């Protein structure tokens, strides 16, 4: 391949290092911004990341817990998963919420869009708030057979995030973004009242 620029970087060669049904890893021989030779690897997931903050009318939310293989640790999180790039992210969010928790929502709004770990991956994340909730039965994948659900006040979930009991970055972003948007009046008024209810309780 011919050399090409990517911002202040120069790509000399590119090769596919690894591929499976969920991701690719590309390796690049480069000239760094300082002009010196270097090596760069980029993880390219084949799905976008999807996250959902469900909010019940009384201010509760729903966490899901599962054992994360990559971390070798249990993790409490908001519902999240992957969505095909050719499927609208909101459609993927509706499917993911129902699969993991059995919940359906009559109302949805965009919460945040962000880059997951931009030094090593090009993964993009989309998150939504779901409210007007009705309960049903989950329909989980085999990899989620150990998953547990925990309904709790959103205030308690936020405290878990602040204390470090919740370490999942996607969940931290969703919780903080929702509370701040509610405080700024950037959400539906009824939804904001549900999110903010009880936050200032001892």
pLDDT tens for each residue of 25-52 = 999 999 999 999 999 999 999 999 999 9
Quote the domain boundaries for residue 38.
4-45
Say if residues 117 and 42 touch (Cβ distance below 8 Å). Answer: no
**Domain shared by 96 and 173, yes or no:** yes
**Domain shared by 35 and 56, yes or no:** no
Q: How far apart are CA 35 and CA 10, in angstroms?
A: 9
Confidence of residue 140 (pLDDT cuts 50, 70, 90): confident
Q: How far apart are CA 50 and CA 190, in angstroms?
A: 24
| Integer CA distances (angstroms), 60 to 106, 156, 193, in order | 16, 9, 12
**Domain shared by 14 and 53, yes or no:** no
Q: What is the pLDDT of residue 143?
A: 79
Q: How far apart are CA 45 and CA 65, in angstroms?
A: 23
Mean pLDDT, rounded, for 93-106 = 97
Q: Kindly report the CATH number assigned to the domain that includes residue 175.
A: 3.90.79.10
pTM here is 0.92
Whether 201 is covered by a domain: the verdict is no
**Domain shared by 157 and 62, yes or no:** yes
Mean pLDDT, rounded, for 59-83 = 95
Q: Using DSSP, state whether 159 is helix, strand or coil.
A: helix
Q: What is the pLDDT of residue 201?
A: 57
Vertex 19: Cα angle to 13 and 21 (nearest 5): 150
Whether 11 is covered by a domain: the verdict is yes
Mean pLDDT, rounded, for 78-104 = 96
Task: Tell me how many domains the chain contains.
Answer: 2
**Domain shared by 25 and 118, yes or no:** no
**Domain shared by 18 and 41, yes or no:** yes
**Domain shared by 78 and 126, yes or no:** yes
Whether 19 is covered by a domain: the verdict is yes
**Contacting residues for 82 by C-beta, under 8 A, at least 6 apart:** 22, 45, 47, 48, 49, 50, 92
**Domain shared by 40 and 87, yes or no:** no
Backbone angles phi, psi at 94, to 5 degrees: -60, -45
What is the per-residue pLDDT across 143-188, written as a single tens digit (0 to 9) for each?
788 889 999 999 999 999 999 999 999 999 999 999 999 999 999 9
Confidence of residue 141 (pLDDT cuts 50, 70, 90): confident
Whether 64 is covered by a domain: the verdict is yes
Cα–Cα nearest to 99, from 62, 139, 134, 148: 139
Mean pLDDT, rounded, for 191-198 = 91
Confidence of residue 200 (pLDDT cuts 50, 70, 90): low
Whether 55 is covered by a domain: the verdict is yes
**Domain shared by 155 and 165, yes or no:** yes
């Amino acid at each position: 391949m011919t050399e090409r620029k990517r911002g202040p970087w120069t790509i000399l060669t590119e090769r596919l290092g690894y591929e499976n049904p969920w991701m690719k890893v590309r390796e690049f021989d480069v000239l760094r911004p300082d002009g010196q030779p270097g090596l760069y690897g980029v993880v390219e997931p084949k799905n976008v990341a999807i996250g959902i903050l469900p909010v019940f009318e009384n201010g509760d939310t729903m966490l899901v817990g599962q054992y994360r293989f990559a971390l070798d640790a249990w993790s409490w999180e908001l519902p999240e998963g992957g969505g095909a790039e050719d499927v609208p992210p909101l459609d993927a969010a509706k499917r993911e919420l129902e699969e993991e928790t059995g919940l359906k929502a009559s109302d949805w709004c965009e919460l945040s869009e962000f880059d997951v770990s931009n030094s090593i991956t090009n993964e993009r994340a989309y998150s939504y708030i779901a409210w007007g909730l009705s309960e049903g039965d989950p329909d989980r994948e085999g990899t989620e057979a150990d998953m547990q659900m925990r309904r709790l006040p959103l205030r308690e979930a936020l405290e878990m995030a602040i204390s470090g009991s919740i370490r999942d970055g996607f969940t931290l972003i969703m919780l903080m973004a929702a509370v701040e948007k509610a405080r700024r009046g950037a959400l539906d008024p009824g939804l904001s009242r549900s999110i903010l209810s009880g936050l200032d309780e001892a």
